[in-house]
């Protein structure tokens, strides 16, 4: 029997509208067979009911997390091997249906959006897998997940990168290591016809930012003949796509030595060193020191400035600062691709911030494209947290 958890009156509304989480303060009581504070409940399956005894679904329980239950189904059913296998098959189906067919590296599982709460799986060159576990329930089912991935993808190796700080909020220890087969120190991945050397051991997050791959292609498609500044370049995703697309020159900026070394290596790998300059420095300083109207294309892809609700105002000031500087540094007719990967910065607030930056910079801005995370990071309606990456590609107009 699956233990039952009951939410307080009205707390079912958000869940019935598709949200997959139950917070600690929303629970009124549990069935008698279940001690909600016991250590051993961490990661157990529990069925969730409304105050009127209506079934809301089954999820992973975690007494240590503010997110007390993460639903993986709207039925009353246990998280079995079969369920995990069918979720992974569904996730594969989505990617093969909607991603370009020659995509070699993609996100196969995007947590709650794929009904596998707290599981992130990235596939590289259809050969290696980097996975991240961010919920106690997935931690319990780890071996089943690994077996299911091996069966579905037949990878050469799987590395687990469960070293994200959010693990602490779930009461889970940090872990990182190869959990199946073998994974070379460096692998070469192919994206938009370019080669990138990626370390699944050292790279940030799971190793490579797959969420920007379609945007890199689109942004680069306007780069021909332009002088480009790629700020927060990491391993050079945007920079190299722009060079390949015929940019007149690209300056790539990142504060991490590791990232700048990767940009150089990747430029070499693709024979694109000519026209590339790298700067290892704080982006705020670089942007502040730019002469007026000195570039024809600027890309701003910063890390999440807001990590929680409390830091939103401060973060918006940071976003405004970099966008304002970039707008000043752009020539008439110049292009600005500006992103925010913070869930806490809502699309409309981001747009409002851009408008403020434009007013202060004394420019008129027209939007060419609105951008978001790639299709393999599905946005799920009712689960706002899944829509995190927003961007605008804009033209800067001067009188
Ligand atoms: N555009 C990249 C992803 C950027 S991730 C891509 O397409 O793959 C954000 C990057 O910002 C990281 O590489 C990080 O090292 C860098 N970064 C963070 N703070 C910074 C700062 N203050 N100045 C410059 N770079 C910074």
Tens of pLDDT along 197-239? Answer: 999 998 766 668 999 999 999 999 999 999 999 999 999 999 9
Number of domains in the chain: 3
> Please, where are the H alpha helices in the chain?
12-16, 81-98, 136-140, 142-153, 213-220, 237-244, 257-269, 283-288, 312-329, 347-361
pLDDT of 79 > 90? The answer is yes
In a domain, 37, yes or no: yes
Same domain, 85 and 33: no
Q: With 90 as the cut, is the pLDDT of residue 255 above it? A: yes
Q: How far apart are CA 242 and CA 35, in angstroms?
A: 57
166 with 279, same domain: the answer is no
Range of the domain at 33: 4-73
Residue 239 lies in a domain: yes
Mean pLDDT for the stretch of residues 55-82: 98
- Is 224 found in the same domain as 342? yes
CATH number assigned to the domain comprising residue 158: 3.30.750.80
| Domain match, 325 and 218 both | yes
Say if residue 173 is in the same domain as residue 242: no
Q: Which of 207, 243, 250, 255 to mutate to test the pocket of ligand 1 (most atoms within 8 A of CB)?
A: 255
Q: Is 196 in the pocket of ligand 1 (CB under 6 A)?
A: no
Beta bridge partners of 40: none
Q: Is residue 110 part of a domain?
A: yes
Q: Position of tokens 């997110």?
A: 67
The pLDDT tens digits of the residues spanning 267-303 come to 999 999 999 999 999 999 999 999 999 999 999 999 9
How much helix, strand and coil, in percent to the nearest 5, is found in the chain?
35, 30, 35
209 pocket-lining for ligand 1 (C-beta < 6 Å)? yes
**Ligand 1 pocket test, candidate residues 105, 203, 302, 304, most atoms within 8 A of CB:** 302
Q: Determine the average pLDDT of the residues in 161-186.
A: 95
Residue 242 domain-assigned?
A: yes
* Tens-place pLDDT, residues 313-358: 999 999 999 999 999 999 999 999 999 999 999 999 999 999 999 9
Q: Please tell me whether residues 149 and 260 are part of one structural domain.
A: no
| 90 and 57 in a common domain | no
Looking at the structure, do residues 324 and 367 belong to the same domain, yes or no? yes
Is 341 one of the annotated active-site residues of the chain?
yes
CATH code at position 37: 2.30.130.10
Atom number of ligand 1 nearest to Cα 230: 1
Q: What pTM, to 2 d.p., does this model score? A: 0.95
User: Is 200 domain-assigned?
Assistant: no
Q: Return the biggest CA–CA distance within the chain.
A: 72
- Whether residue 196 lies inside any domain: the answer is no
Residue at a domain's end among 187, 219, 242: 187
In the numeric block, which tokens belong to residue 239?
A: 């920079």
Q: Do 145 and 8 share a domain, yes or no?
A: no
Is residue 104 domain-shared with residue 174, that is, in the same domain? yes
Ligand 1 atom nearest to 301, measured from its CA: 1
**How much of the chain exceeds pLDDT 70, in percent?**
99
Q: Tell me the sheet residues that pair with 132.
A: 120
The pLDDT tens digits for 238-252 are: 999 999 999 999 999
């Amino acid at each position: 029997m699956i233990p039952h958890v009951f939410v307080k009156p009205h707390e079912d509304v958000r869940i019935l509208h598709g949200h997959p989480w139950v917070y600690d303060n929303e629970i009124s009581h549990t069935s008698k067979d279940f001690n909600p504070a016991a250590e051993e409940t961490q990661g157990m399956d529990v069925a969730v009911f409304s105050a009127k005894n209506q079934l809301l679904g089954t999820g992973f329980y975690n007494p240590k997390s503010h997110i007390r239950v993460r639903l993986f189904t709207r039925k009353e059913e246990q998280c079995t091997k079969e369920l995990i296998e069918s979720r992974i098959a569904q996730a594969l189906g989505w990617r093969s249906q909607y991603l370009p067919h020659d995509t070699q590296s993609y996100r196969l599982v995007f947590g709650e959006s794929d009904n596998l709460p707290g599981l992130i799986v990235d596939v590289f060159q259809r050969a290696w897998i980097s996975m991240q576990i961010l919920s106690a329930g997935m931690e319990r089912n780890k071996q089943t997940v690994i077996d299911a991935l091996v069966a579905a993808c037949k990878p050469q190796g799987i590395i687990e990168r469960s070293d994200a700080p959010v693990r602490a909020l779930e009461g889970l220890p940090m872990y990182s290591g190869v959990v199946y087969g073998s994974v070379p120190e460096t692998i070469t991945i192919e994206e938009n016809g370019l080669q990138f050397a990626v370390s699944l051991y050292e790279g940030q997050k799971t190793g490579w930012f797959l969420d920007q791959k379609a945007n890199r292609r689109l942004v680069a498609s306007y780069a021909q003949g332009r002088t480009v500044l790629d700020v927060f370049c990491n391993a050079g995703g945007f920079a190299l796509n722009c060079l390949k697309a015929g940019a007149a020159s690209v300056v790539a900026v990142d504060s991490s030595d590791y990232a700048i070394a990767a940009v150089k290596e990747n430029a070499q790998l693709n024979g694109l060193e000519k026209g590339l300059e790298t700067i290892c420095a704080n982006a705020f300083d670089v942007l502040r020191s730019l002469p007026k109207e000195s570039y024809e294309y600027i890309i701003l892809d910063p890390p999440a400035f807001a990590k929680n609700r409390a830091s939103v105002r401060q973060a918006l000031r940071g976003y405004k600062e970099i966008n304002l500087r970039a707008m000043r540094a752009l020539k008439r007719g110049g292009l600005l691709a500006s992103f925010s990967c913070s869930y806490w910065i809502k699309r409309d607030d981001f747009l409002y911030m851009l408008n403020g930056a434009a007013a202060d910079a004394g420019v008129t801005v027209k939007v060419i494209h609105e951008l978001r995370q790639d299709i393999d990071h599905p946005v799920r309606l009712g689960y706002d947290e899944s829509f995190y990456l927003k961007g605008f590609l804009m033209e800067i107009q001067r009188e």
